[in-house]
Amino acid sequence: MILLNFISSEIDTSRFVAVTAVLAIGYFLANAIYQLYFSPLSKVPGPWYAAISPIFFIIVSLKGNAVYTWELLHVKYGKILKPTCIFHTKGPYLRVSPTSVMVADREPALKVHSPNDVFPKGPWYTNAMASESILTIRDHQKYKTRRKAFGSGFSKSNMALLEPVVRKKAELCFKKIGKHFDNGDIVDVKPWLYWMAADIVGELCFGKDFGMLENEAENLLVRDCLNFTLVAGIQAQAPFTKYIIWLLSEALADLQHEVQNCKDGNPRPSLFSHLLKDVDNPNAKYKVNITELRNESTLFILAGTDTTATVATFLAWDLFRNADIRQKVIVELKEIGWTQGDNDDGITDEKLQTLPYLGYLLREALRLYTPAHTGFPRVVPENGRYLGPHFLPAGTECLLPVYTLHRDPNIFDEPFAFKPERWLNPSREMESVIMAFGGASRVCTGQHLAMMELRLSVAMMLKYWGNAELADSCTDESMEIVERFLIHPKGNKLEIQNKKITLEN
């Protein structure tokens, strides 16, 4: 009897497994047929394996260098065939998953990011970061209130108040590196530029920096910030990985204490001072709470460190490999009283903003070295929308391949070349396609601060590194762009030294 029961339960189990397998295969095939032939996205070009399951998209996004894969696929599935130029074959739309479309065309990309008909942010943001902040809030009304309150810390008038902090840090950074050059050291300037960006945001948030420039050493917080962005990028694609957050140390908790101290103490001018002064005012328009302060200050560190430092790193490389460009900047700087060497030349950001060539230089750096080269997911709103010839139903995710847009050969002559002078007389298309600071509906809150940092960095770099040149380790190959959520140079360093003196006999 026991034996019979055992046999019949064995038969039931194997039947159950067989039925489940048939149902799963049936579902998979039915879904594949639907996605390929009947889904509203079935007419959007792209590889069949991307259309039937999200796995391909997740793997490409996680393995790094996704931009190059999307670039190749845009070419492969291009519909505009102009045999005169290979780049003209790039297709503007690419289906990269059952529900996601890459939009590599200026007009529709602008439409997706227009503030007039808002395509809200996609779930990617809340998967990437659990805390609610200006970056991650998806409800547009709620976002507008938060952005108005916290965005005013970045207004031009407040930036002018905060400029001395930025100038002091930039001066400390480039002067100290210059001293190392004078001692004959070869310096990897990449970490220094991270320390500078983090020390600036730290002091602007908490009235106190993280001491990295002073100590010439990474502190836990910076390391955690870098880890955090990587973790956030992974989490966004695979939310179940959120438990690996334990990889981060106690530093983010320390950061929260700093915010608390800032609230309890007597705050100096900062990105939050306008909000902190109203904490006990019952009639204040916006009453900030400690959770918001904590979330936004953490965001500012994450969003304002890696990004600015990456652009500054590639910019330094381009300046020191192009003597012509460097010379043009120096000539312009001299017109406003800038001098090389350790002296007070009274250069301010207000003066730097008047220099046209410096402006072209930064625009070109932001075009080629946009730190986030792909993404900014937005969701098609209710009732769906047409993008070009394609109707996208509500809920479709629209992604921007910024790398491809910024190198569109229909818009930019020699799109891969670093040519600041192209911005002397830019076309309307050139100006509007640049999305380094995101699209108009959710443009970067910190862009004025970032631009100030970059302008002052160029002025200080040339001031204190007068005799510098790229070290032998710095080659075109070591500076190739690799993408791991944000971009980095392939060699992960930028080594600079004082010019080698060759003694002639």
Q: Report yes or no: 263 and 276 within 8 Å, Cβ to Cβ.
A: yes
For ligand HEM, the binding residue among 44, 60, 221, 299 (CB under 6 A) is: 299
Other Cβ atoms within 10 Å of 464 Cβ, number? 22
State the minimum distance, in angstroms, from the CB of residue 389 to ligand HEM. Answer: 26
Place of tokens 């530093």: 251
User: Which is nearer to ligand HEM, 78 or 304 (by Cβ)?
Assistant: 304
What is the token pair recorded at 497? 């030294």
User: Which is nearer to ligand HEM, 147 or 274 (by Cβ)?
Assistant: 147
Distance from first CA to last CA of the chain, Å, rounded? 105
Q: Report yes or no: 348 and 356 within 8 Å, Cβ to Cβ.
A: no
User: Which is nearer to ligand HEM, 51 or 221 (by Cβ)?
Assistant: 221
For ligand HEM, the binding residue among 403, 437, 464, 465 (CB under 6 A) is: 437
Per-residue mark of binding to ligand HEM, 158-197 (x: CB under 6 A) = ----------------------------------------
User: Which is nearer to ligand HEM, 308 or 497 (by Cβ)?
Assistant: 308
Is 444 labeled as ligand-binding? yes
State the minimum distance, in angstroms, from the CB of residue 7 to ligand HEM. Answer: 59
For ligand HEM, the binding residue among 372, 411, 434, 470 (CB under 6 A) is: 372
Asked whether position 98 contacts ligand HEM by CB under 6 A, the answer is no
Strand order across the beta sheet in which 495-498 lies: 187-188, 495-498, 468-470
User: Which is nearer to ligand HEM, 358 or 471 (by Cβ)?
Assistant: 358
State the minimum distance, in angstroms, from the CB of residue 410 to ligand HEM. Answer: 23
Contacts of 426 (CB under 8 A, 6+ apart): none
DSSP state of 121: B
Asked whether position 210 contacts ligand HEM by CB under 6 A, the answer is no
State the minimum distance, in angstroms, from the CB of residue 301 to ligand HEM. Answer: 8
Q: How far is CA 309 from the centre of its chain?
A: 11
For ligand HEM, the binding residue among 45, 304, 420, 489 (CB under 6 A) is: 304
For ligand HEM, the binding residue among 298, 307, 404, 457 (CB under 6 A) is: 307
Q: What are phi and psi of 446, to 5 degrees?
A: -95, 15
Q: Report yes or no: 467 and 179 within 8 Å, Cβ to Cβ.
A: no
User: Which is nearer to ligand HEM, 67 or 201 (by Cβ)?
Assistant: 201
Helix residue ranges, H only, 100-219: 106-112, 124-128, 140-151, 156-182, 189-206, 212-215
119 to 158, contacts with ligand HEM by CB under 6 A? 134-135, 147
State the minimum distance, in angstroms, from the CB of residue 305 to ligand HEM. Answer: 8
Other Cβ atoms within 10 Å of 339 Cβ, number? 13
Strand duo 481-484 + 486-489: pairing? antiparallel
444 to 503, contacts with ligand HEM by CB under 6 A? 444-446, 449-450
Least Cα distance to 332 among 462, 478, 487, 169 occurs for 462
**Cross-strand bridge partners of residue 497:** 469
d(CA 106, CA 310): 25
For ligand HEM, the binding residue among 60, 311, 362, 452 (CB under 6 A) is: 311
d(CA 45, CA 41): 9
Per-residue mark of binding to ligand HEM, 215-254 (x: CB under 6 A) = ----------------------------------------
| 3-class SS of residue 97 | strand
d(CA 315, CA 451): 13
Task: Tell me the window of 3-11, 35-43, 187-195, 299-307 that interacts with ligand HEM (CB under 6 A).
Answer: 299-307
State the minimum distance, in angstroms, from the CB of residue 34 to ligand HEM. Answer: 31
Q: Report yes or no: 333 and 462 within 8 Å, Cβ to Cβ.
A: yes
For ligand HEM, the binding residue among 109, 303, 347, 392 (CB under 6 A) is: 303
C-alpha angle 170-173-178 in degrees, rounded to nearest 5: 120
C-alpha angle 94-100-103 in degrees, rounded to nearest 5: 45
Asked whether position 371 contacts ligand HEM by CB under 6 A, the answer is yes
What is the token pair recorded at 424? 């002397």
Residue nearest to ligand HEM (CB): 446
Place of tokens 């529900």: 99
User: Which is nearer to ligand HEM, 88 or 274 (by Cβ)?
Assistant: 274
For ligand HEM, the binding residue among 108, 233, 438, 489 (CB under 6 A) is: 438
User: Which is nearer to ligand HEM, 132 or 254 (by Cβ)?
Assistant: 132
What is the token pair recorded at 466? 């007068």
Which stretches of the chain bind ligand HEM, using CB under 6 A?
134-135, 147, 201, 299-300, 303-304, 307-308, 311, 371-372, 376, 436-438, 442, 444-446, 449-450
Q: Binding site for heme: what residues are annotated?
A: 444
